[in-house]
Amino acid sequence: MPGLKHEKLCLPPIAGVDEAGRGPLAGPVVAAAVVLPAKGIPRGINDSKKLPAAERQRLHDRLLGCAVVGIGVVEADEIDRLNIYWATMKAMTLAVDQVAALLGHVPGHVLVDGNRLPRWRYAATPIVGGDAVSTSIAAASIVAKHTRDRIMIAHAEAYPHYGWHSNKGYGCAAHLRALREHGPAPIHRRSFAPVAQAELPFARGGAAESFEPHHNR
């Protein structure tokens, strides 16, 4: 389970940062920054990948009630312009900027999951596998993952072909098959090879269904 040993080495307040959605073929990349309370940290915080969806939701809701939370979202069209690396760096920056605005000052230190840092004004440390060892980063991973999942479930209502309610935009077999059959939706990342390859037949005049959003009545 993650702990607070890294936090204890840093000047408070400490923001943990993580992202969700680097790998999917559709939808945004989402980053979260979380400053945990000095007391009353919710129990059960862990790497979001190790938690079932219901537990992520419970912890997400608890964190929003007791922690300082910032969220950064970079949409698919901007991912295509920047590339996924720089889009992720931007999402992280947006999340920490939001935390700084809520605090009224910059965090004392930022702990970031991974081995790279954005180009920003904050004192920060990257930690490979940080969501497994830092409670602050694990908390951010929960908020980022739950936030992005809710975004993709909402998109699944509008664009039902791709099964985003279950695959959240990742390139599983059913998603790839739907891409071949229907072509990309507006929130697909066209700079990602499977999407670009699927788009070619439709760009050449192949038939595809309209992508006017579908709304349940």
Four-residue CA torsion sign, 140, 136, 107, 92? negative
Q: Locate the domains of the chain by residue range.
A: 7-155, 160-203
140 phi and psi angles, rounded to 5 deg: -65, -35
What pLDDT tens digit does each residue of the chain (217 aa) get? 999 999 999 999 999 999 999 999 999 999 999 999 999 999 999 999 999 999 999 999 999 999 999 999 999 999 999 999 999 999 999 999 999 999 999 999 999 999 999 999 999 999 999 999 999 999 999 999 999 999 999 999 999 999 999 999 999 999 999 999 999 999 999 999 999 999 887 666 554 444 555 544 3
CA distance 104 to 125: 21
Rounded-to-integer distance, Cα 24 and Cα 84, Å: 10
- Output the CATH code of domain 7-155: 3.30.420.10
Alpha-carbon distance of 96 to 102, in angstroms, equals 10
pLDDT value of residue 206? 55
* Residue with tokens 């901007």, as numbered in its chain: 78
Does 18 belong to an annotated binding site?
Answer: yes
Overall pTM > 0.85: yes
Cis peptide before 13 (omega within 30 of 0): yes
Q: What's the pLDDT tens digit per position in 18-47?
A: 999 999 999 999 999 999 999 999 999 999
Nearest CA to 29 among 128, 118, 159? 118
DSSP 128: T
pLDDT at res. 201? 73
Q: Which of 34, 35, 44 is nearest to 71 (CA)?
A: 34
Is 55 among the annotated ligand-binding positions? no
Task: Give dist(CA 119, CA 89) in Å, integer.
Answer: 8
Amino acid at 148: R
- CA 192 to chain CA mean position, Å: 17
Token pair listed for 211: 């992508």
Was 113 annotated as part of a binding site? yes
Q: How buried is 48 (Cβ within 10 angstroms: 0-12 exposed, 13-18 middle, 19+ buried)?
A: buried
